[in-house]
A and B are shown apart, each in its own frame.
Chain A
């Protein structure tokens, strides 16, 4: 069993799996169950100002999209920040932290974009014994209409300003949670850094309408015949989240900003991918909301086995390992040539590769009378679509051609040397190799 102990900006937890600020962390009851199940930490669901709490809709709060067998792939929500009184939440946070001192307890906050409300709430949070705060600059629905959440997160100057206030009024570590509903995530990350944030966490949810009721002609979830956009999360958003995490992790000016990775983490593998792209830990929500808290046990065993396999003594050895390999398209090796290969022993002859290639790609798969499917190397551009649509894992693979062989498609030798677009003769802006 590998050592999964995590130390994220000085906050220790027995593993790098935290529950994100969301319904699963709204109450003492839920959080105690989460800690009993093995979660390393939680970010308590966002607290607002003292006084009358926000109200939620009394109709459905979630919408979903599904894959085969009604497997939940994406979830959308229009729930607001906690609708329970501030003092109740603070008491519960204190009680839970007291009973689980080894777990990370982060408190998510969202108050109006003025210094006073932040100055008022931070001492109250500190008093609970919490390990840190996360600034919710991400929620794209409801609160953003009141100038909070993503309304702040979409303006880098506001992010910097508020972060600075928070750092001024607390000794706790400060994580700034970023919205993906922007053009370039490096700008808000940079603003957080300038404001003195200890870390960023991303991504918050994405503006979305998951479906339309075709009888009512209303977006879902439908509240009395109307719908509003919600925040999208779950497995479907993972690729967007991974890219945003990588963009920050590989930016030279942001390299020292710790990242808490969020967005569709469902299995240990997803978590390991976030870590490899530079996240120091991960936060999970939708997977827990879909399957319950017990999934963390698979995440723990899976990451542990993987680290043992790789010989990693600590989570930090994995963090950022893939970052040097994230590059721009223009630097990809254009001399690298591969071809699809179909393992006939694994092939069950469904013909999906053929339909995909024949109808929508390069006509590079042949089909015999007796349903044997083979790659035509003369036509194969190695687009990978056949691999992607094949129902059998590892049945179709992309095999690199050895340098010195001739690519039957182009008739050209496979060159041993690396060469990219910047020096390609077809590139009008090419610069000659020096």
Chain B
């Protein structure tokens, strides 16, 4: 520890090792068996349960909780994983407070939902930590499918296709599989290499080949995939980041929040990661919160999350906003960036206050900033893709694109929230449609 939180500029080693390890420990520790039974006993086993309806992957939540309560957590895991092969990751990263747990009747009755997310994790961990893969492949069909993107959408699609007997090749631009699970989610939500362990577990199904360093458009083309495979699924996410289009927006010290998050996730020595003393994150979604909180946890003295509208319009859930506030992140609302100031490197960022309908007020504020992280939306980087709509691949039904034989899902496709769980659902459903199409 050569620096402190007070050291100016962008510097590494602001904290001691113990602080890093404490700060990046797991946000929600796993339930122990007793806690799981107590939590499971609170489920009412509702009829046509609202939590199931609220789950993008339609997991039979009352059934899996009853299976936990009756001492069969592996059966519970199978119930979960048969709907959502990434049930382990979703248990960790789903905004359950706006999905299943918001719909839980006990949330309505007592303001305390059943701990569905943590119970799901209990069950999936119980199974996966034994190395059990409860699915097997159907007779091999001889059909081949190319999947682009080894993230939640692509791997979910690939796994379902593999179960159905098809051979799948997954192409991914990055050196490791997992997509945003591996590169784009705060470290404290999925520590200890869980994302890779989950991928390894998932691949036990067989019939899936991973090809790394294969970016669509650069290393492989859609035309080529179409000619080499019987079907193609596009699930490569959003590679581009919107630029900060203001005066000084290209100064040193201004960078993308997604890269910052990826650096934290891939770091083997958090003390070597530089972070500003005064960090400003621009944006209001999960990425913005993940970047802001992790800046603080790395030892930044002042972290400001600056959002153009009110808190009620932020894409980050209330839970995420509160988490940021509890870690000491200041949330500024109704501000839009006007200019980035500094002699070479950023020193200050200037905002204008805006009304709720985004009208400028003429009032501005300058706050110190030696690091600015952009989290103002991601874009689809593409050429030669199927038809787009609102900047994403247009799909109908279960992910059918404008090109025959090409399906798409996850963040790169239009529709649904940009959530891991939504991507898993879209990949799974596209796989079923691809199967019907190939075998029909």
Q: Which residues of A approach B to under 8 Å, CB–CB?
A: 68-70, 348-352, 354-355, 367, 371, 391-392
- Contact between A348 and B47 (Cβ–Cβ < 8 Å)? no
- B44, A391: Cβ atoms under 8 Å? yes
Instruction: Judge whether B390 is part of the interface by a CB distance below 8 angstroms.
Output: no
Q: What separation, in Å, do the CA atoms of A70 and B48 have in the docked complex?
A: 26
Q: Is B38 an interface residue (CB 8 A)?
A: yes
In-complex Cβ contact of A352 among B42, B46, B50 (8 A): B46
| New A-B contacts (11) at CB < 8 Å, excluding given A70-B37, A349-B108, A352-B46 | A68-B41, A69-B38, A69-B41, A70-B41, A349-B46, A349-B50, A350-B44, A351-B46, A351-B48, A352-B47, A371-B50
Q: Per-residue 0/1 for B398-432: is the Cβ within 8 Å of any A Cβ (1 yes, 0 no)?
A: 00000000000000000000000000000000000
Q: Given that A69-B41, A70-B37 are known contacts, is A392 also in contact with B50, CB under 8 Å in the complex?
A: no
Complex contacts, B38 vs chain A, CB 8 Å: 69
The digit string for B40-78, where 1 denotes a CB below 8 A from any CB of A, is 011011111110000000000000000000000000000
Q: Are B41 and A352 in contact (CB under 8 A)?
A: no
* Chain B positions within 8 Å of A350 at CB level: 44, 46-47, 105
| Interface check B106, CB cutoff 8 A | yes
Assess whether B436 is interfacial by the CB under 8 Å rule: no
A-B contact count (CB 8 A): 33
Contacts A354-B47, A371-B50, A391-B44 given; indicate if A348 touches B37 (C-beta within 8 A): no
Evaluate contact between A352 and B45: CB separation under 8 angstroms: yes
Residues of B close to A367: CB separation below 8 A? 47-48
- Provide the residues of chain B in CB contact with A349, threshold 8 Å: 46, 50, 105, 108
Q: Check B106–A348 contact: CB distance below 8 A.
A: yes
Q: Are A352 and B108 touching (Cβ within 8 A)?
A: no
Q: List B contacts of A371 (CB < 8 A).
A: 50
For this complex, 25 residue pairs linking A to B, each with C-beta atoms less than 8 Å apart, are A68-B42, A69-B38, A69-B41, A70-B41, A348-B106, A348-B108, A348-B109, A349-B46, A349-B105, A349-B108, A350-B44, A350-B47, A351-B46, A351-B47, A351-B49, A352-B44, A352-B45, A352-B46, A352-B47, A354-B47, A355-B47, A367-B47, A367-B48, A391-B44, A392-B109
Please give the number of chain B residues whose Cβ is less than 8 angstroms from any Cβ of chain A in the complex: 15
Q: Are A348 and B105 within 8 A (Cβ)?
A: yes
Q: Which residues of B sit under 8 angstroms from A392, Cβ to Cβ?
A: 109
Bound form: Cα–Cα A354–B105 in Å: 15
Q: How far is the CB of B372 from chain A (nearest CB, A)?
A: 45
Nearest-CB residue, chain A, relative to B44: A350
Q: What CA separation (Å) do A69 and B36 show in the bound complex?
A: 11
Cα-based distance from A348 to B37 in the complex (angstroms): 23
Q: Which A residues are in CB contact (< 8 Å) with B44?
A: 350, 352, 391
Q: Which residue of B lies closest to A69 (CB)?
A: B41
A70 / chain B contacts, CB cutoff of 8 Å:
37, 41
Q: How far is the CA of A352 from the CA of B49 in the complex (A)?
A: 10
A70 vs B42: C-alpha distance when bound (angstroms): 11
In whole angstroms, how far apart are the Cα atoms of A351 and B45 in the complex?
A: 9
Q: Please give, as numbers and ranges, the residues of chain A lying within 8 Å of B41 by CB-CB distance.
A: 68-70
A235 → B minimal CB distance (Å): 17
Q: In whole Å, how far is A330's beta carbon from the nearest beta carbon of chain B?
A: 36
Q: How far is the CB of B31 from chain A (nearest CB, A)?
A: 15
CB distance from B248 to the nearest CB of A (A): 51
